């Protein structure tokens, strides 16, 4: 792994899949969308747990997130080493969109029967 990262030119990390203004606009929209969507999704996720388990449930989700993150970094490093930065710029928004879309669809489907756990 270190060999792959060591051989990766630094300038490859600075190359975007398009002009800089496109990347800046995409980041702006992603930030705005995350600010609108994520708080409501996190609230619904937190409120699904009974009150006595909310802190433990949220902590378990965060532990899973932090534990699995290095697998994503390893995958990204291998892709960068073999194919360059363009697949990363395609895969990251695609995977995030699919994951958040699935989460949002599930939330909307269950919204009518969702009750705050007591």
CA distance 76 to 11: 16
Number of domains in the chain: 1
Using the predicted structure, report yes or no on whether residue 26 has a pLDDT greater than 60. yes
Indicate whether 4 belongs to any domain.
no
> 38: domain range?
17-113
Using the predicted structure, report yes or no on whether residue 67 has a pLDDT greater than 90. yes
Q: Which residue has the higher pLDDT, 31 or 5?
A: 31
Report field, pTM of the whole predicted structure over 0.75: no
Contacts 24+ apart (CB under 8 A), 27-33: 30/93
Indicate whether 10 belongs to any domain.
no
């Amino acid at each position: 792994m270190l060999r792959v990262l060591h051989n990766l030119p630094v300038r490859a990390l600075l190359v975007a899949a398009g002009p800089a203004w496109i990347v800046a606009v995409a980041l702006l929209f992603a930030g705005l969308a995350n600010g609108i969507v994520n708080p409501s999704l996190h609230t619904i996720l937190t409120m699904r747990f009974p009150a006595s388990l909310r802190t433990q449930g949220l902590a378990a989700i965060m532990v899973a997130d932090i534990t699995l993150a290095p697998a994503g970094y390893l995958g990204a490093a291998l892709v960068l080493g073999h194919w360059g930065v363009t697949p990363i710029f395609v895969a990251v928004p695609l995977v995030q969109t699919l994951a958040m879309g699935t989460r949002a669809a599930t939330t909307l489907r269950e919204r009518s029967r969702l009750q705050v756990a007591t």
